[in-house]
Amino acid sequence: MSQTSDQMELREEDIRAHYVPAAEMLMHLDHAPRLAKARLSLQTAEKSPDVAATRRRFRSTTPGILSRTSAPSGGVRLLDRIAESDEDDPLTSPAQAATAHALRRALSIAFTVADAFSDQTALTELKRINLEGRLSPERSAEFTEYLAAESLVALYTFANATTFFLATRAGEQTVDVGNVDEVLTDNAPLALHGALWELDQKLGQFATDEPTLIATLLGYCEQLMAKVEMRAANAGRLASFHAASWRVEADDFTVQGFTPARKAKGTALTMTFKKPNEVVGNHIAKYQAMKLSKMLMAYDFERKLNPFAELGGFIFTFMGDGKPGTGKTTLIQMMAGLVHEYCQNAGYPFRYQNLSTDNIDSYQGKSGQNAKAFINNVLDPGVIGFGTIDDIDQLAGKRGDRQSSAGQLEITAVLMESFAGANTVVRGNCTFGMFSNYPENVDDALRQRAGARFLVDGPQTLDDYIDILYLLMGKNHDIPVGAHEVFSAQEIKKAVAASFEGHSRPHEEGLQKVFEQVQAQVGDLDTIAKLGTYLKGIQEADPRFTGRAIKNITDAVKVRAMDFELPDEWIEEPDLFLFKDYDTKKGMISELRQPITVEMLIQEINRYADSEFRYADKSDEVAIDAMVRDFGRQELAKKRYLDGKI
């Protein structure tokens, strides 16, 4: 293996050396399940001898697939199982051939990585000593631990590679394959035998056609990776696998510990996109969404970093809140449409995903797995990603709330760890938006992980209401507009300037009292010390206003320092900016930065603190109302009891 950078290359000849045993495993293997329960017979029903052998097999005409007409009956015949997915069509379909090749390639890579792991550790020597019959009792436990580690390495690599190779064939369909149980750790070959046996069971249960064939395969591999990752967390002898990184140059595939490799492909979007002028009101939210859309495009795929993330001012997470019907969905459609259009122009892969209540599952741990898969798909450094969590108050549970289900709490834990955990890395290729009509019902710690706040309050002014009526009426009428210049009030820079200026003083009553008290005490808030006094006053009024809140405020101020949109021509003509090297892009952005002012800082403190006071007041009112209702029920129940009406 040759060293390239910080990665080791898996040589093609080493991988291909495993092709024959891998193909034989796919053609036929015998396995007696030890942990899982068989759900179906492994033998396909045989036909009468008078009927010619109509049960189709893969033929030797498929490149790289061996003929196996002499394979014994019974056992696991995975290639036959794949062939049954198209109602006995006598010809091998492209999807079936691709699936077979992907499985053989994934198995071969798994064996090669297991060999490399064995050579890196003491396992190869222990195998040799064991074969010679010289393994001492003292080293027997060590040998068993290494074999278990090698098994986990092989299983994860197999599932990881299969998912990677079949990613481009994934459709919108998903299959819930249930639990994966046959995870054996005696040795790598037996572990892979068990995996193929259980995969055959899942395909027999769920793969009724080619779309469900691919969906079942991917669903099984995702579950297998999750199960192996959990087992590996408590297994020993895996330090060298965690630290190593292997690359398969021919496939652009990287094995990096128990981290899934993602194929850099975008998703086909079917949503209705909105243009910015179709979003009425919501000036600050619209402006920041438009800026963020262009910021994402500055991501450098070679460096895997965005200059905005390094310079400051990149919005990794944000929360949009407002009353029902104020335009949250429209804002999502606008931002997704902008990024999609920009990516198409530049030839970048774009991936949009939404985490919805459909991802809450009754199986323990499945909701968390769904949330983690959502996060990983959007974080993929090979794409520009936009992830949304609509109605997050319903999706993520509030800790301590008896109404929160186990699945909701799992999702909360995953989002908190992913958005601001010890291992969170912000590359600047993606952003996550959380949206809610009732943000006061969102867990405090999760809500504070939203680095920016977009108040989605819909149309506010008379001009806004005229504009939205004109927009929604469409063209099929003859009603005159009257004395009004359509959309002039929606001129973004003028509207945003007015909106920011409106935060020079607080809006919420509780915050206004703090602001006036601090001003009376220290005078105008024009120094760091005085502004710090204001922040301390806010914390005394609301203990939930912590250091994380101050970080979010300073991040928002840095965004204001980047208070410019990348010129349209930089996006429309990629050679002017997008296709330049990282350092050049960073320099071009730096030249556009603006100085941070006291006014900016006060406005951002007020914007953030207003939202927290608004959430806290609503949350307290909701809790009080609930307690009042409970007390009322108790009194009524007591009265009925005493009156003997039960």
Residue 465, CB-side half-sphere exposure with 13 Å CA sphere: 3
User: What value does the mean pLDDT take over residues 273-291?
Assistant: 75
Residue 189 has a pLDDT of: 95
Q: Could you give the percent of the chain with pLDDT greater than 70?
A: 87
Reduced to 3 states, what is the DSSP secondary structure of residue 455? Answer: strand
Nearest-angstrom CA–CA distance, 191 and 8: 25
Q: Can you give the pLDDT at residue 50?
A: 38
pLDDT tens sequence across 231-269 = 998 899 999 898 888 989 888 888 988 888 876 555 555
pLDDT at 380 over 80: yes
Q: How far is CA 147 from CA 31, 160, 192, 355, 638, in A?
A: 19, 20, 13, 38, 66
pLDDT in the model for residue 496: 63
Q: How many CA atoms lie within 13 A of 477 on its CB side?
A: 9
Interval 460-466 mean pLDDT: 81
Tens of pLDDT, residue by residue over 108-128, are 999 999 999 999 999 999 999
pLDDT tens for 564-585 read 778 889 988 999 999 999 999 9
Q: pTM of whole model > 0.85?
A: no
- Cβ partners under 8 Å of residue 172, min gap 6: none
Helices (H), 234-282: 239-243
- Whether 156 and 255 have beta carbons less than 8 Å apart is answered as no
What pLDDT, on the 0 to 100 scale, is given for residue 464? 79
The answer to whether 163 and 211 have CB atoms below 8 angstroms apart is no
Between 274 and 426, the higher pLDDT residue: 426
Q: Taking CA 379 as the corner, what is the angle to CA 433 and CA 117, rounded to the nearest 5 degrees? A: 155
Residue 450: its pLDDT value, please?
86
Contact predicate 170/157, CB 8 Å: no
Q: How many residues appear in the chain?
A: 646
In this prediction, residues 419-432 reach a mean pLDDT of 88
Mean pLDDT of 497-509: 78
Q: How far apart are CA 222 and CA 370, in angstroms?
A: 10
* All domains of the chain in start order, with CATH: 3-43+54-255 (no CATH), 276-495+546-593 (3.40.50.300)
pLDDT digits (tens, 9 = 90+) for 307-360: 999 888 788 999 888 777 777 888 888 899 999 999 989 989 898 988 887 778
Tell me the pLDDT band of 494, cut-offs 50, 70 and 90. low
pLDDT band for 537, please (50, 70, 90 cuts). very high
Distance CA 615, CA 442 (A): 9
The number of angstroms, rounded, from the C-alpha of 150 to the middle of its chain's C-alpha atoms is 28
Determine the pLDDT at residue 366.
Answer: 77
Q: Stretch 516-542: mean pLDDT, rounded? A: 92
> DSSP 3-state assignment of 42?
coil
Would you say the C-alpha torsion 346, 434, 222, 429 has a positive or negative sign?
A: positive
**What H or E segment, with its residue span, contains residue 639?**
helix 598-643
Residue 391: pLDDT band by 50, 70, 90 thresholds?
confident
Average pLDDT over residues 54-81: 51
Taking CA atoms, 410 is separated from 371, 413, 435, 442, in Å, by 8, 5, 19, 14
**Which DSSP helix (H) or strand (E) runs through 453?**
strand 452-455
Q: Is there a contact between 333 and 272 (Cβ–Cβ < 8 Å)? A: yes
Residue 593 CB-density burial (10 A; 0-12 exposed, 13-18 middle, 19+ buried):
middle
